[in-house]
Structure 1
Amino acid sequence: MNESLSSMIVPGVLWALVLFSVMSWALLLIKSSQYLRQKSQNNQFSKAFWAAPDLLTAAEHASQYPGSLARIANSGFEAMIVDDTPRNTQQLAHTINRSDRLERNLRQQIQKERRSLESGQAILASIGSTAPFIGLFGTVWGIMEALQSIGVSGSASLETVAGPIGHALIATGVGIAVAVPAVLIYNFFLRRLKLASANMDDFAHDFDALAQRSAFAIDRQAISNKRTAVREAS
């Protein structure tokens, strides 16, 4: 291998590890902002939703508020909407009863929200698992270069050996220093994901119980009239 290229291996490994470290801390900031924003949005929506006097008002809140719970509720209301337009009962979409459609919509929306929250987790897991080995590779390569240099110089004194090998060992230390925060950040957000998923599942269960009171149906025209009234009032 070209000598100049060979000498770039260890610095390249170190720069790669620095990049991994920057990615880990950037994901910490991005994901923290995502979870804090979602928590605030869900708290606001939950207060408005459960304070609503009827399902029509709750449906209006679901269409107006941001956040994962609002989107789950909105998908549930979409499954409950009933209108008076003629339907071809031979179509497969109309052979599913509203209870099953509601359960499917809620489940699919929860899965979408989970996938959104899972974004970046694979990167953190990859950094945490590979960074030590990348650092070890840099160390092994650095030691090989050091031994070659010693062979060329013909001197094996402590001063000659300690410097290059000590420099090579830095790569392993950096790899571990990059991996540990990545693993901790991954585990932290894994815990947050489980809590958020449980919160969404609980809301979906409560929504399903609430929908049973209206026989899993809500009138499309009533929603339209409600939205018109809200706009006129504002």
Structure 2
Amino acid sequence: MKGIVIEELKYKLIILTEKGDFIEIDKLNTRAKIGQEINIKSKKISTKKALRRFALAATAILIFFIINSLIYGMIFTREYVVVDINPNNNKNVAMEIHYNYFGNIIKLQAANKKGVSIVKKMRNLKFKATNVVINNFIRTAQNDKFIDSGKQNTIVITIASSSKSINDESIDSSLEHYIKENKINARPMIVLGNDIDYKKSKQVGIPIDKFILINKVIKNNPSYKFYDLNKKSIDELINIANQEENY
């Protein structure tokens, strides 16, 4: 009788015979690969037993993929929030907040050299709420004299999210409340983009808030050139973007 090898166990081979039966044979006496047709003489096993083995194998594979998906979702970044204080001058300080696939903060990272010292002082905040992390960053930057109380400062929050799970209105409201409550002379701004914008801004070496605003202006008016817009400040780009939207 002939059959096809469909599963390889430690000491046995499971065969599907030409009659549609499942049988097992001694692996030590037969050299065959899965999918190979062989001649067999052995004891028949029940279809139920064979299907049970397949179900267990399928379950193990499913569990493996679920566990790997959960691990991937927890440790890899999906979305970003970038806080940039006074981006219009060379004394700006910036930080990135990284979120996993479940919307939890998994990493705080400096977005420029001056941000390194600030982020180092922000301990035990990785799993806190976004507004808590942002407020702490602003407070630390203020203590380190990156915010000038004698003039108006600019705080830009860039949200790079494709899933739209990060609530920009909540962040904006919390930021305005914190600035007012602590009597900080600053103008808050929210810039919306996605994770693709974040990756592209890294490739060209331009801060993400500026990268998004430049592309927003060009989208509204293609006559503008990327190179020329890159020479302008954040405030200038916001004004141009608002003007183009009103036309």
TM-score grouping bracket, smaller chain normalisation: under 0.3
TM-score, length basis structure 2: 0.24
Higher strand share: 2
Higher helix share: 1
- Asked which structure has the greater RCO (Cα within 8 Å, sep 6+), the reply is 1
